[in-house]
Amino acid sequence: MFLSSMIRRTCWIKNKVSIKKLFEIFSVLSLCLLFGCSKQSDVTVAKDNDVICDGTFTGYVYKFRNLKNKEVWKTFKSSAEILAACQIPQDSLNRLNTEGLSQSCMFLPINFTYTAYYSNTVSPYDGILSLIKSCNCLTALTSKKLAPAALIKLYKNMVLTNETFTSSDFIYSLNIFEKNSSLDKSYLELLLSTEYFTPKMDLSQLKELAKEIQNKTTFQVNCPSASYAGSLCYTYTAGARVVLRYDSLNPFLTQAEKDKLLNFIKRAGDDISVAQQDCISLVDSTLNILARNH
């Protein structure tokens, strides 16, 4: 059970989160505009017919090599130009199978911009919904039948470390196949918290995801790196969506509990209240049930 430590940790996080998020937003945006993106070039290997759930990443992946040169970023005059540059060309998009597409979404150069959505009226959840609507790789992923399995696979294969990352590490220096930042993790968790993926999972997939969310929670609670402290709320946001999906398969929630969980998701788990603590408790207990039966 994570409940008692989570409530204490969450309250501490909320006192820190505003400063941390502002630092992330301004430092990352500044680096993005000044230094560009050093994502690796596209990789072409044998194309799968379907996603392979054996832990081995395969398939063609689009890594936005057109944005590798820092000089390209200096030419952008508006956010609209940046957004246009972050679209995958249709011929490349057509080449991507579900697994390759899910990985390409991880390399999206602006995948961190959900952090800019933080106020009394919007949250990072709104930010991830905006990205899904604005970026064709994410839009395409929502229509893929195998997308839930592909995202679970990515989540399980994330290599989180105890290192304290710099802002440049978050976006430019890491290879998603070797190690991942808290921003990588949070981005994927926010995708899983939407209505596009987890609500399409079967019970077996829910159990698999529940166990991995617990693993990520344990890592973050014990991790000394401050970069993970403020991102714990996103892990619980993904967990809340798992609870709602489980309830749709095996009803056990009251309407009041459903409403609390939905509000928790819409705020990306990021407000201090009794309702928030109720949601944390409900997520913990439900994940325990699912993970125990996995």
Alpha-carbon span 279 to 191, nearest angstrom: 19
Number of C-alpha atoms within 13 angstroms, CB side, residue 173?
9
50: its two tokens: 């379907």
**Sequence spans of domains, the chain:** 3-292
Task: Give the mean pLDDT of the chain.
Answer: 79
* The predicted structure's pLDDT at residue 272: 60
Q: What is the pLDDT of residues 97-131, one digit of tens each?
A: 888 899 899 889 888 899 899 888 999 999 999 99
| In contact, 187 and 111? CB cutoff 8 Å | yes
Alpha helices (runs of H) in 108-199, residue ranges in sequence order: 124-134, 136-142, 147-156, 167-168, 182-193
Q: What is the pLDDT of residues 180-216, one digit of tens each?
A: 778 889 999 999 999 999 999 999 999 999 999 999 9
Both ends of the chain: CA-CA distance in Å? Answer: 16
Q: What is the pLDDT of residues 167-180, one digit of tens each?
A: 455 444 446 667 77
Q: What is the pTM of this model?
A: 0.81
Helix (H) or strand (E) holding 78: none
* The predicted structure's pLDDT at residue 37: 38
Q: Determine phi and psi for 173, rounding to 5 degrees.
A: -95, -20
